[in-house]
C-alpha cells in the first residue's frame, strides 16, 4: 500500500497470524476435536480466543504507534500449538496422523528457513516456506480424500443395513402372515 507504508507490516502480520488461526481451526474440525476430547477442545477454544484478542491488540498498537512491535506473544502461541500437536498425536486416529504430518511438514520447512537466516550469511537457493505450505496442503488433501472415502464407505454400509432391515421387516411380516394363515387353517 504505497500511500500507507506504515500499514505494510501490520497487514502482513494480520494475514500471517489469521492464516495460522485458520489452520488451527481447520485442524479442530478436521480431526473432530470435540468428539476426541471435550476437555482439550475447551482449552483449544480458550487459547484461540486469547490469540484473537492478542492479535487485535497488537495490530491496533502497530497502527496507532506506526511501529513494528516485537512479537513475543506470537512465539508463545506457536509453542502452545506445538504442545497441542504433541498432545493430539497420542490419539492415533488416521485423521490426526494426517493433520500432525501436515503441520510438521510446514514447521520443518519454516524452521529450516529461520535457522538458515540465523546460521548463514548466504540466502537459501530456494524459499522453504512455500514448499512447506504446498506439502502441507497436499498432505491435508490426502487426508480429506481419506475422510471422504471413509464417509462414503460408512454411508454405503448404513444403506446396506437399512436395506437388510427392510428385508427383515418384510420377512417378519410374511412369517406373521403365514402364521395367521396356519392358525386360520387349523
Query: What are 104-146's pLDDT values in tens digits?
Result: 898 888 888 777 777 777 777 778 878 888 999 999 999 999 9
The secondary structure of residue 2, as a DSSP letter, is T
Yes or no: say if 96 and 89 are a contact pair by the CB < 8 Å rule.
Answer: yes
Yes or no: say if 51 and 77 are a contact pair by the CB < 8 Å rule.
Answer: yes
pLDDT range class, residue 173, cuts 50, 70, 90: very high
Yes or no: say if 47 and 27 are a contact pair by the CB < 8 Å rule.
Answer: no
| 20 contacts: CB under 8 Å, gap ≥ 6 | 78, 81
Q: What does the pLDDT look like over 48-105, one tens digit per residue? A: 888 888 888 877 887 787 766 656 666 777 777 788 888 888 888 898 999 889 988 9
Q: Does the pLDDT at position 179 exceed 90?
A: yes
In this structure, the chain runs to a length of: 186
Q: Does the pLDDT at position 20 exceed 70?
A: yes
Lookup result for grid cell 396356519: 182
At 186 the three-state DSSP class reads coil
Cα distance between residue 8 and residue 63, in whole Å: 10
- The answer to pTM > 0.75 is no
Nearest CA to 95 among 135, 134, 144?
A: 144
Amino acid at each position: 500500500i504505497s500511500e500507507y507504508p506504515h500499514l505494510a507490516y501490520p497487514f502482513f502480520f494480520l494475514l500471517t497470524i489469521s492464516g495460522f488461526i485458520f489452520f488451527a481451526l481447520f485442524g479442530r474440525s478436521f480431526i473432530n476435536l470435540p468428539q476426541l476430547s471435550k476437555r482439550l477442545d475447551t482449552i483449544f477454544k480458550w487459547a484461540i480466543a486469547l490469540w484473537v484478542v492478542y492479535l487485535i491488540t497488537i495490530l491496533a498498537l502497530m497502527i496507532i504507534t506506526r511501529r513494528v512491535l516485537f512479537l513475543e506473544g506470537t512465539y508463545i502461541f506457536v509453542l502452545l500449538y506445538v504442545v497441542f500437536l504433541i498432545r493430539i498425536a497420542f490419539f492415533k486416529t488416521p485423521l490426526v496422523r494426517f493433520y500432525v504430518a501436515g503441520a510438521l511438514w510446514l514447521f520443518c520447512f519454516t524452521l529450516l528457513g529461520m535457522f538458515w537466516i540465523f546460521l548463514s550469511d548466504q540466502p537459501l537457493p530456494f524459499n522453504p516456506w512455500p514448499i512447506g505450505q504446498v506439502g502441507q496442503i497436499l498432505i491435508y488433501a490426502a487426508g480429506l480424500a481419506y475422510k471422504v472415502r471413509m464417509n462414503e464407505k460408512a454411508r454405503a454400509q448404513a444403506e446396506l443395513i437399512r436395506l437388510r432391515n427392510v428385508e427383515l421387516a418384510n420377512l417378519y411380516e410374511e412369517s406373521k402372515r403365514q402364521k395367521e394363515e396356519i392358525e386360520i387353517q387349523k
